[in-house]
Amino acid sequence: MSSSGATKTSANILSAASGSFSLSGSASVMVTNPPPPPLSIAFIISLEKGGDGEVIKLVAPAWGALLAEIARDPDALLRMTPRQFEELVAAAHDADGADEVVLTPRSGDRGRDVIATYKGFGSVRILDQAKQFASDRPVPADDVRALLGVLALDLNASKAVLTTTSHFAPGVADEFKAVVPYRLELVNGAQLTARLAELAKK
């Protein structure tokens, strides 16, 4: 290790071509920061802007490439930017059959990162909050309580989902068991990875 604290490593360069990802070349670089996000092309598109945010749809080739990357390396979820992680959560609802998926603005989202609506008989409107936390940083009970407050204020919402790359603090599951899973769903990192693997089969 040099006096500057930087380490020398051989890094693969991630590139995108023809709607898919490929690893090409090798470069010797000095790095002092985490690797860049594993994405170099967009995997969602904006259809229109509404009162709550942007209505989005996933881009199938890029979405498939992203899921393949996460299947190879689940830590890719942590190398995304926070906004990319919110986009991932939104795209997962679209892939799962939601009729409309809204990605809320980066700021002023009122505690809702994604709003997914499943229409028809028994229509459901889901508020999804994305928490991209390292595995050693659990989601505290206060964050879950705050999300339930957001749910209570949205009279058209059916349930809330908190999706994280990490896990939930001790006591959370027991505290909120009365409202899980019909009013609240808690999705930890392992469950998220498993869900994405299932969506990859569709």
Q: Mind listing the pLDDT tens digit for each residue in 47-69?
A: 999 889 999 999 999 999 999 99
Task: Let me know if 89 is exposed, middle or buried by CB neighbors in 10 A (0-12, 13-18, 19+).
Answer: buried
- Say what the pTM is: 0.80
Q: What are phi and psi for residue 5, nearest 5 degrees? A: 90, 0
Round to whole Å and give the CA distance between 27 and 25.
7
Percent of the chain with pLDDT over 90: 74
The residue-averaged pLDDT of 84-107 equals 95
pLDDT at 8 over 50: no
The residue-averaged pLDDT of 16-24 equals 37
Total count of residues recorded for the chain:
202
More confident of the two residues 111 and 117: 117
CATH topology (fold) of 43-200? Trna Endonuclease; Chain: A, domain 1 (3.40.1350)
Q: Out of 30-44, 131-145, 156-170, which region has the weakest mean confidence (pLDDT)?
A: 30-44
The rounded mean pLDDT for the chain is: 85
Instruction: Write down the pLDDT at residue 171.
Output: 98
Domain ranges of the chain: 43-200
Round to whole Å and give the CA distance between 152 and 146.
10
pLDDT at 7 over 80: no
Instruction: Write down the pLDDT at residue 40.
Output: 53
